[in-house]
């Protein structure tokens, strides 16, 4: 679908310049944009590439000389990347999921299906499940017994919502998401080597082999409104109480959220990260890619954990952490600089030893 520049500006809150009657139907990088595209040139280095393409319109920063770039029109914003959020939503063609209920879907007679719900091929909806109005289920989704999915949910292909999970409005779950699988809870008849090692800080370890007994997860998962979860991420159900994910949380691909975890609202957890059982993340926490948070910890509000950080102890609010084990980012950077200086330091010490040996006649 094509929109005029004026329509786009009004919809996403950007300023329109030039010929606002021009119509565009897509976005592209400056060097590959055609006459029907908006070139994304939100910084000067990208704007310099506009001449390599055929764009007539571009998204630029406030004060940019759009006419000097040879454009017929422009959209500007003091924060162009934020404005891109609305623009991308307008231009998204979607996944092409059909409306209505596919004949191959299996819907339990006791399930409650809201108005304007789309249910794709080979979906299964269990007894007592409630699917909110305006929701879309892509092919091969599973909604378990007594699950609640709020209005406007979007489940892409192969999403699994296991029994009794409670999901708020406007969830976006990408392919392969599993919410409500059992937690990873096992115990041995006598204290295990892991328990001994933890209590003794590694002095004691495994001295006998024991089999693991499984602890069933009796809780479920509660997810707030406006949450998005990336491909193949998993949120385990709680041992007794629910695992909780607050409203506005954004979770990337391949993330593991353990049993009993609480994730505060508007937090962000990036790809490959893992949060172990019973840990509490505050509000607006950012967990970088491939970071890990140990169990039974408290991570304060607005904490930022850099990529690959491994957190083994509580973190006060507002801290920026990096490294393994995690430490304040500035301390980690200083430590890393010191590590890089070690070879030179060793050479300097060796040279000093030689000089002293010559002075003392011991060479």
pLDDT in tens, 293-328: 999 999 999 999 999 999 999 999 999 999 999 888
| Residue 341 CB coordination number (10 Å) | 11
Residues with Cβ < 8 Å from 197, sequence gap 6 or more? 203, 204, 205, 206
Q: Can you tell me the mean pLDDT for 5-17? A: 94
Bond before 2 cis per omega within 30 degrees: no
Tokens 């999921």 locate to: 97
The alpha carbon torsion through 78, 84, 85, 86 (nearest 10 deg) reads 90
pLDDT digits (tens, 9 = 90+) for 70-93: 999 999 999 999 999 999 999 998
Q: In whole angstroms, what is the distance from residue 90 CA to residue 242 CA?
A: 36
**Local structure of 199: helix, strand or coil:** helix
**What pLDDT sits at residue 363?**
52
pLDDT tens per residue across span 267-298: 999 999 999 999 999 999 999 999 999 999 99
pLDDT digits (tens, 9 = 90+) for 215-259: 999 999 999 999 999 999 999 999 999 999 999 999 999 999 999
Is the pLDDT at 52 greater than 70? The verdict is yes
d(CA 330, CA 189): 45
Task: Round the average pLDDT of the chain to a whole number and report it.
Answer: 94
**CB of 338 within 8 A of CB of 344?**
no
Q: How far is CA 258 from the centre of its chain?
A: 15
pTM of the predicted model as reported, rounded to 2 decimal places: 0.88
Domains and CATH numbers, the chain: 3-91 (3.40.1390.10), 106-322 (2.160.10.10)
**Distance in angstroms (rounded) separating the CA atoms of residues 26 and 192:** 59
Non-local (6+) Cβ contacts of 280 within 8 A are: 261, 262, 264, 297, 298, 299
Query: Which pair of tokens denotes residue 323?
Result: 């490294």
Structure tokens at 335: 């430590």
According to DSSP, the β-strands at 268-269 and 250-251 are parallel
Packing angle, helices 80-91 and 5-12, rounded to 10: 120
- Residue 362's pLDDT band (boundaries 50, 70, 90)? low
DSSP conformation class of 38: E
DSSP-assigned states of every residue in 203-249: SS---S--PPEE------EEE-SS-EE-TT-EEEPPSSSPEEE-TT-
DSSP letter at 340 equals H
| Active site residue ranges | 259
Report helix, strand or coil for 313.
coil
| pLDDT (average), residues 39-61 | 95
Compute the residue count for the chain. Answer: 363
pLDDT tens, 169-187? Answer: 999 999 999 999 999 999 9
Instruction: Report the C-alpha gap between 235 and 132 in whole angstroms.
Output: 21
């Amino acid at each position: 679908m094509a929109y005029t520049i004026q329509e786009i500006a009004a919809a996403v809150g950007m300023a329109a310049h030039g010929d606002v009657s021009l119509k565009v139907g897509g976005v592209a990088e400056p060097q590959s944009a055609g006459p029907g595209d908006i070139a994304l040139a939100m910084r000067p280095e990208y704007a310099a590439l506009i001449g390599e393409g055929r764009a007539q319109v571009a998204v630029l920063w406030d004060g940019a000389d759009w006419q000097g770039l040879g454009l017929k029109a422009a959209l500007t914003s003091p924060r162009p990347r934020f404005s891109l959020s609305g623009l991308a939503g307008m231009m998204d063609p979607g996944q092409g999921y059909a409306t209505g209920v596919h004949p191959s879907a299996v819907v339990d007679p006791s399930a409650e299906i809201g108005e304007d719900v789309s249910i794709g091929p080979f979906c299964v909806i269990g007894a007592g499940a409630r699917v909110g109005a305006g929701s879309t289920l892509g092919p091969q989704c599973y909604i378990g017994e007594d699950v609640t999915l709020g209005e406007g949910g979007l489940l892409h292909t192969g999403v699994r919502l296991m029994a009794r999970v409670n999901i708020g409005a406007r969830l976006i779950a990408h392919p392969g998401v599993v919410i409500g699988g059992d937690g990873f809870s096992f115990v041995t008849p006598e204290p295990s080597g892991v328990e001994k090692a933890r209590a003794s800080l590694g002095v004691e370890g495994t001295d006998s082999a024991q089999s693991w007994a499984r602890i069933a997860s009796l809780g479920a998962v509660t997810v707030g409104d406006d949450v998005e979860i990336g491909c193949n991420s998993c949120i385990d159900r709680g041992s007794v109480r629910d695992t909780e994910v607050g409203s506005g949380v954004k979770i990337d691909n391949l993330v593991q959220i353990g049993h009993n975890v609480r994730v505060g609202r508007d937090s962000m957890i990036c790809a490959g990260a893992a949060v172990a059982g019973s840990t509490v993340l505050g509000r607006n926490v950012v967990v970088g890619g491939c970071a890990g948070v140990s169990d039974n910890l408290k991570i304060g509000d607005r904490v930022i954990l850099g990529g690959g950080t491994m957190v083994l102890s509580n973190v006060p609010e507002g801290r920026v952490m990096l490294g393994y084990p995690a430490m304040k980012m500035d301390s980690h950077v200083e430590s890393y600089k010191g590590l890089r200086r070690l070879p030179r330091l060793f050479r300097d010490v060796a040279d000093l030893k030689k000089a002293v040996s010559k002075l003392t006649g011991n060479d």
